[in-house]
Amino acid sequence: MSVSDVSLLHAVVTLADTSPVKYTQLESADLEFNDQLISHIAAGDTHPRFVAKNGSEPGIPIGTQQVAAFLSQCGNMGANVSPADIYYRKVSNLTGRVAHGTTEHIRFRATLARMYLDSISAGNRQEAVASGRIVPVADGTNAVLIRSGSVAITTITPTTAEGFVLGPISYGTSSAAKLQGCDGLDVSLNASQMEFGDESEEAITFAAGDTIAPTVSFTTTDVSVDALRGTPVENFRVHLLRKKDENDTYGDGESQHIRCTITKGVWLVQRIAGRPAARQVTVVASGDDANGFSDAPIAWAVNAAVALE
């Protein structure tokens, strides 16, 4: 036997037919079918004599450096991104990647799809990555993922414009204090989802966001956080600084960065360890009863200047 078919992940495109958002800076976008099985072993027998596919739970876990695009599209609670496409580029033996305009590439399309953000990680000189999931939903007529093996990819040119690293972390509303020696940032929304199906359909027919419980974890060598342990959060801010192509970093005053703000919650210090001693800090976000349905426990500003207060 010889190898004849090889393909490479090329892009994920959401809102493909209306306002396409093209994710080509991908750490991962592994298409999961998660097929389920019914298997029967007769009483006293040694092996199955009946096997049947019993639906699936397809999904596309996605990790991307296009953090601003992901946040703008999904926010805290996720969004309808129908239709969503995942493309694979064909590679030919003895030559290499097949030309974009050749109709030999592969596309899987979810006619109905929801996408949500799960977490963002970053660090000192460590590039930020947004991680989330695309959930295909059955429309009652078509396959939940429609495969085409003869498409061109001329409209999906590479983009590599986004790159963010960890910037200042601060707290306080007047004379804001900037924490020193911060690293290992993880912003987790801890998002729970509602996903339902009925009548033994092939896939789920309903998907929606349920709840979020945001936390921000990081390490710091700043001993001042010892006094914050167990105290209320006041205007906690994290910045992701945008890198500039063929240069360094955009200036603090330029509206290119990302800012995360938590105004209410509690400080936790989980442990002190390492050489030098570093504090493992978790900021737990919460909403405010006084704001009714209008507030969010964590707020994002995309294309923002650095603002510590």
The closest of 217, 309, 306, 297 to 258, measured between CA atoms, is 306
Instruction: Quick: pLDDT tens for 25-57.
Output: 999 999 999 999 999 999 999 999 999 998 889
Task: Give yes or no for a contact between 134 and 59, defined as CB atoms under 8 angstroms apart.
Answer: yes
Instruction: Quick: pLDDT tens for 51-90.
Output: 999 888 999 999 999 999 999 999 999 999 999 999 999 9
- What residues form DSSP beta bridges with 240? 166, 258
The closest of 3, 34, 37, 9 to 23, measured between CA atoms, is 9
102 pLDDT higher than 70: yes
End-to-end CA distance of the chain: 65
Residue 214 token pair:
């945001």
Prediction pTM value: 0.93
The dihedral sign for the CA sequence 183, 184, 187, 190: negative
